[in-house]
Amino acid sequence: MLLSHLLSLLIWLPMVGAVAVLAFGRQANAARWLALLTALATFALSIPLWLHYVPALVPSMQFIERVAWIPALNANYALGVDGISVALIVLTTFTSVLVIIGSWGPIETRVSQYMAAMLALEGLLIGVFAATDALLFYVFFEGMLIPMFILIGIWGGPRRVYATLKFFIYTFLGSIFMLVGLIYLHMKTGQFSLDAFAHASLGAKEQAWLFFAFLIAFAIKVPMWPVHTWLPDAHVEAPTGGSVILAAIMLKVGGYGFIRFSLPITPDASQEYAWVVIAMSLIAVVYIGYVALVQEDMKKLVAYSSIAHMGFVTLGIFVALALVRVNNNPVGARLAVQGAMVQMISHGFVSGAMFSCIGVMYDRLHTRMIRDYGGIVNVMPWFAAFMVLFAMANCGLPGTSGFVGEFMVILAAFQDSPLIAAVAAFTLIIGAAYTLWLVKRVVFGEVGNDKVAKMKDLDAREWIVLGAFAAGVLVVGVYPKPLTDLMEPAVQQLVQQLSLAKM
Amino acid sequence: MIQFNPADLATLLPELFLLGATCAILLIDLFLKPAQRDITHWLALVALAVTGFLVWRDAPGQGAAVAAFNGMFLRDGVATVLKVFVLLTTGLVFLYSRGYLRERKLYVGEFYLLLLFATLGMMLLVSAGNLVTVYLGLELLTLSSYALVALNRDSAISSEAAIKYFVLGALASGLLLYGMSMIYGATGTLDLAKIHAVADFSANSPHRTLLAFGLVFLVVGAAFKLGAAPFHMWLPDVYQGAPTAVTLFVGSASKLAAFGMTWRLLDGAMGGMHGQWTQMLAVLAVLSLAVGNVFAIAQTNLKRMLAYSTISHIGFLLLGFVNGSAEGYAAAMFYMISYALMATVAFGMIMLLARAGFEAEEIDDFKGLNQRNPWYAGVMAIAMFSLAGVPPLFGFFAKLMVLKAAIDAGQLWLAIVAIVFAIIGLYYYLRVVKVMYFDEPQDKAALALPADRTFRWALSVNGLALLVLGIAWGPLLDWCNRALAVGVDIAR
């Protein structure tokens, strides 16, 4: 009973929690505890999802739920997960707990609304990863803009209104084109099931149109160069918790969308236009890396580094297409998709941790400018240790999660074209440059000023948050096998599907 | 030879009841002191409820239509759905406006009587089976509306709005009547179904020019009543100038009736020329989307902004017509119902914030509402996100259905134009949310809520309904589909 409705529970428990927090959270502490309990319960529920998911089973979609939603349109409340979704759902529930713990102190005004927005966002994100009906997916996909809009707008920095409007309108613009594509596919197939979409036979021209409709939606979400400009603004102005969720999970929705929509529904067009995406990814990796180098605002720097890292995700996904269809190399293709997925999970930990670190500093000095810091290691040794660890993961040091995904993607790209691999590998230099330079300026050296001298080291709450992220970074970095085993069958199925032309 | 069949009166029972009840209320109100006006208020609500019950009880089966008085009056699925929602939204107008009117010394019997007569007109209009009944219902509706807009006699802006409304409305009625006369000339009948059957739309028909001209005038008249650009000029002034209680009515219930009229005239009578009028409506749709969304951005007055937003929504509505099929009309009706329910929340919120001597009609009057009263800020936010078409709210699914209708009709470009303007429109709805949530209030004190508890409850339920209907919109869609017999092949 519990297992058969586990996905619904995972989606709706945080939503119910959000309503409860609004209703009973008049006192800040009540709201915090209620939110924490809900998030913990959701996280606890997501563990059986992982444990009871049987990777070996075919077909790989499990925990299927299906209730007729709109019979007139043949739209269903249809949920189901494969290994890829399970990994992302567990990442979501895990990060949400940390975000709520992390916001315990810093958020002091309208606590209940903040916590409710966070919980609602969590439920919607799980819904995005669990939906197997395109209309339901779209509802969750768009619905999550509302809590994020409120989060940035109320608790954000000085330019929050500009940033949040830009965020909302930009992402809405992308997804609404996808909506037209989905309606078109509904006209062709008579239903909204993703499975039916994947099996619909589509001509080259149709596929091209659909491919670009999906590309706009997901490229903005990822975000890819050149439609990334909303991200630095949103990140800089968002409160720490908002930045963490945004970087760690919401960006993953874009990559997930490519895997769920673009590849299976429009494989031929994806192949034809893979060079567009690959070129955009490489530009993101190299050019955005340089942009990150010159940032003076720490959050902006990490935001740009996120774009560069997500470039690896899109690179891996679309290199896989070339590998399987042009080079006839399914093993390499699996490696590429796996690499992209590991990169997504890893980036979830690393970027979440980096933003949490910046949040810790910001809570003490209320500035994000690099020049206002310096020599933190002298006053906050524990914090410095964590920060250096995450920085190493950010530049892809072996032994951290950052290395695994990037290495797999580069390895796969090499099998397609050494040139692509060479350009992508460039990131190891630039990434190291901007991250290490950041660490040098902020963490090491002489104590920058009197204010820095007075900073206190981590308290228990911050310890938990950073410690948990550190554990994630190290576990995935040292022993990624459980993660890759979980996703392997889904990846295999995807690659197999890719090898078949649709026309 | 027109024959009178007493059994026809039974078909007209809801309308006859409403007429009788209105006349009774008219008499009762004469003997009431101003302090006893609540009696009129509740009697009017009871009259609407009973009428609604009668409509619901006599609802015809799927695809069936009952005609009375030689086809002058039709009771079919569309009429039933529209009447139910017309009565519902009129009831909401009564519930929302009592305190508002009392504070402005407008709490008078005329308001109730004019609204009840207008409701009767709307019920006739959506049931019309004959050009004469269309005109009769329309005039009953619009004449009452002109008077309602001018209800606040001492206000110059209200009077100006009423005169504009009257002059332009009379012009539109004239155009409509002119078109009707041409069609009568070409076909020799006033009956909508007979026009559809008799009129010779073929290319070499001798009446083709006459019919085409008649059609143009009908489309213009309908566009006028709906408020589609470029026939929208009256709308912003009337919305802004009229007392908010009346704006609420003009913006919700009467739009439903205007939809009914448009459908009856264009599909019912001129269905044979739908290749022609879908093109005209496509142009009107694009213009309305453009004018509505772009001009709304510049507004600082919330009522005026909502007026331009109405125009843009009419643009979306017309996308449903462009399909020229039952699915499309069902989608359009679904859209109109969703719009009416959203508009009632938005205007209801303006009345909630309004005080004696303070209209709360500027967008800035909503500043920091979230800090003053989070619940009603949430209700307004739901309405704004719903109007903008963000899932999971009702407005999104209405947009989905009309977009689907346009795409099914092969008008992909029209759907893309619509979504581009929807993105532009997003901005001004978000601005209201921004003002409520991100700005500091001018007056930090908690919002003093109106004493009228029924108003507060109804408004909250109305707001939550947009959320609930966003999750469970299937039954309403099915009802609209059944009313238009989607999926059922019935020879007309």
Note the ipTM here.
0.91
What confidence category does residue A501 fall into, taking pLDDT thresholds of 50, 70 and 90?
low
- pLDDT at residue B2, as a whole number: 63
CB environment B262-286: b (16+ within 10 A), e (fewer): bbbbbbbbbbbbbebbbebbbebbb
* Residue A451 one-letter amino acid: K
The answer, yes or no, to whether residue A321 has pLDDT greater than 70, is: yes
Residues B385, A183: C-beta atoms closer than 8 Å: no
Residues A165, B403: C-beta atoms closer than 8 Å: no
Q: How far away is chain B from the Cα of A128, in angstroms, using its nearest Cα?
A: 13
What confidence category does residue A375 fall into, taking pLDDT thresholds of 50, 70 and 90?
confident
- pLDDT at residue B162, as a whole number: 93
User: How many Å apart are CA B491 and CA B486, to the nearest integer?
Assistant: 13
Q: How far away is chain A from the Cα of B150, in angstroms, using its nearest Cα?
A: 39
- DSSP run (H or E) holding A480: none
Q: How far away is chain A from the Cα of B472, in angstroms, using its nearest Cα?
A: 8
The answer, yes or no, to whether residue B489 has pLDDT greater than 70, is: no
What confidence category does residue B491 fall into, taking pLDDT thresholds of 50, 70 and 90?
very low
Q: How far away is chain B from the Cα of A5, in angstroms, using its nearest Cα?
A: 19
CA atoms within a 13 Å half-sphere pointing along the CA-CB vector of B397: 28
For residue A77, list its beta bridge partners.
Answer: A67
Residues 6 or more apart in contact with residue A38 via CB below 8 angstroms: A13, A14, A16, A17, A18, A20, A21, A119
pLDDT, average across residues A446-457: 82
The answer, yes or no, to whether residue A500 has pLDDT greater than 80, is: no
The answer, yes or no, to whether residue B490 has pLDDT greater than 50, is: no
Residues 6 or more apart in contact with residue A15 via CB below 8 angstroms: A119, A120, A123
* Residue A278 one-letter amino acid: I
Nearest to B437 among A71, A153, A183 (CB): A153
- Give percent helix, percent strand, percent coil of chain A, each to the nearest 5: 80, 5, 20
The answer, yes or no, to whether residue A49 has pLDDT greater than 50, is: yes
Other CB atoms within 10 A of residue B453 CB: 9
Place of tokens 């949490």: A356
What confidence category does residue A116 fall into, taking pLDDT thresholds of 50, 70 and 90?
very high
Chain A partners within 8 Å of B473 (Cβ): 70
Chain A partners within 8 Å of B385 (Cβ): 146
Contact between A281 and A227 (Cβ < 8 Å): no
For residue A76, list its beta bridge partners.
Answer: A68
DSSP-assigned states of every residue in A166-196: HHHHHHHHHHHHHHHHHHHHHHHHSS-BHHH
Q: How far away is chain B from the Cα of A375, in angstroms, using its nearest Cα?
A: 36
For residue A59, is the peptide bond before it cis, meaning its omega torsion is within 30 degrees of 0? yes
Residues 6 or more apart in contact with residue A144 via CB below 8 angstroms: A121, A124, A125, A128, A250, A253
The answer, yes or no, to whether residue A362 has pLDDT greater than 50, is: yes
What confidence category does residue A119 fall into, taking pLDDT thresholds of 50, 70 and 90?
very high
Question: Which among B404, B408, B416 is the top mutation candidate for probing chain A, defined by the most A β-carbons within 10 Å of its own β-carbon?
Answer: B404
Residues 6 or more apart in contact with residue B4 via CB below 8 angstroms: none
This prediction's pTM: 0.92
Chain mean position to CA B446:
34
The answer, yes or no, to whether residue B175 has pLDDT greater than 80, is: yes
Chain A partners within 8 Å of B371 (Cβ): 110
Nearest to B419 among A113, A145, A176 (CB): A176
For residue B67, list its beta bridge partners.
Answer: B74
Beta B66-68 vs A62-70: how paired, if at all? unpaired
- pLDDT at residue A16, as a whole number: 93
Chain B residues near any Cβ of chain A (below 8 Å)? 370-371, 374, 385, 390-392, 396, 400, 403-404, 407-408, 412, 415-416, 419, 422-423, 426-427, 430, 433-434, 437-438, 473-474, 477-478, 481, 486
Contact between A470 and A353 (Cβ < 8 Å): yes
Give the CA dihedral A475, A478, A484, A485, nearest 10 degrees.
-90
Give alpha helix (H) positions in A400-480: 401-416, 418-442, 450-453, 460-478
pLDDT, average across residues B67-96: 91
Chain B partners within 8 Å of A150 (Cβ): 437
Average pLDDT, chain A: 89
* Residue B97 one-letter amino acid: S
- pLDDT at residue B212, as a whole number: 87
What confidence category does residue A351 fall into, taking pLDDT thresholds of 50, 70 and 90?
very high
User: How many Å apart are CA A437 and CA A395, to the nearest integer?
Assistant: 11
Counting one residue from chain A and one from chain B, the pairs whose CB atoms sit within 8 A come to 84
pLDDT, average across residues A175-189: 90
Nearest to B474 among A69, A142, A169 (CB): A69
Residues 6 or more apart in contact with residue B160 via CB below 8 angstroms: B237, B241
- pLDDT at residue B401, as a whole number: 92
Chain A partners within 8 Å of B434 (Cβ): 153, 161, 164-165
Residues B427, A146: C-beta atoms closer than 8 Å: no
> B296-348 pLDDT, tens per residue?
999 999 999 999 999 999 999 999 998 888 889 999 999 999 999 999 999 99
User: How many Å apart are CA A134 and CA A182, to the nearest integer?
Assistant: 7
* Residue A449 one-letter amino acid: N
Burial of A41 (0-12, 13-18, 19+ CB in 10 A): middle
Residues 6 or more apart in contact with residue A188 via CB below 8 angstroms: A200, A202
The answer, yes or no, to whether residue B349 has pLDDT greater than 90, is: yes
C-alpha separations of B249 from A66, A302, B109, B116, B308 in Å: 41, 52, 16, 11, 16
Residue B294, φ and ψ in degrees, nearest 5: -75, -45
As given in the structure block, the two tokens for residue A464 are 């938990």
User: How many Å apart are CA B213 and CA B277, to the nearest integer?
Assistant: 11
What confidence category does residue B488 fall into, taking pLDDT thresholds of 50, 70 and 90?
low
User: How many Å apart are CA B199 and CA A179, to the nearest integer?
Assistant: 40
What confidence category does residue A503 fall into, taking pLDDT thresholds of 50, 70 and 90?
low
Residues A169, B404: C-beta atoms closer than 8 Å: no
* Residue A29 one-letter amino acid: N
User: How many Å apart are CA A405 and CA A89, to the nearest integer?
Assistant: 19
The answer, yes or no, to whether residue B4 has pLDDT greater than 60, is: yes
How close are the terminal C-alpha atoms of chain A, in Å? 42
Beta B66-68 vs A75-81: how paired, if at all? unpaired
Average pLDDT, chain B: 89
> A53-63 pLDDT, tens per residue?
887 776 678 88
- pLDDT at residue A370, as a whole number: 87
How close are the terminal C-alpha atoms of chain B, in Å? 24
Contact between A73 and A190 (Cβ < 8 Å): no
Q: How far away is chain A from the Cα of B488, in angstroms, using its nearest Cα?
A: 13
What confidence category does residue A1 fall into, taking pLDDT thresholds of 50, 70 and 90?
low
Beta strand extents in A73-158 (DSSP E only):
75-81
pLDDT, average across residues A417-433: 88
Q: Which of A198, A229, A249, A361 is nearest to A304 (CA)?
A: A229
Beta A62-70 vs A75-81: how paired, if at all? antiparallel
The answer, yes or no, to whether residue A254 has pLDDT greater than 80, is: yes
For residue A480, is the peptide bond before it cis, meaning its omega torsion is within 30 degrees of 0? no
C-alpha separations of A233 from A92, A170, B120 in Å: 23, 12, 54
What confidence category does residue A220 fall into, taking pLDDT thresholds of 50, 70 and 90?
very high
Nearest to A176 among B404, B422, B427 (CB): B422
Contact between A231 and A163 (Cβ < 8 Å): no
Place of tokens 């005039």: B139
Residues B390, A146: C-beta atoms closer than 8 Å: yes
For residue B230, is the peptide bond before it cis, meaning its omega torsion is within 30 degrees of 0? yes
Nearest to A172 among B426, B434, B473 (CB): B426
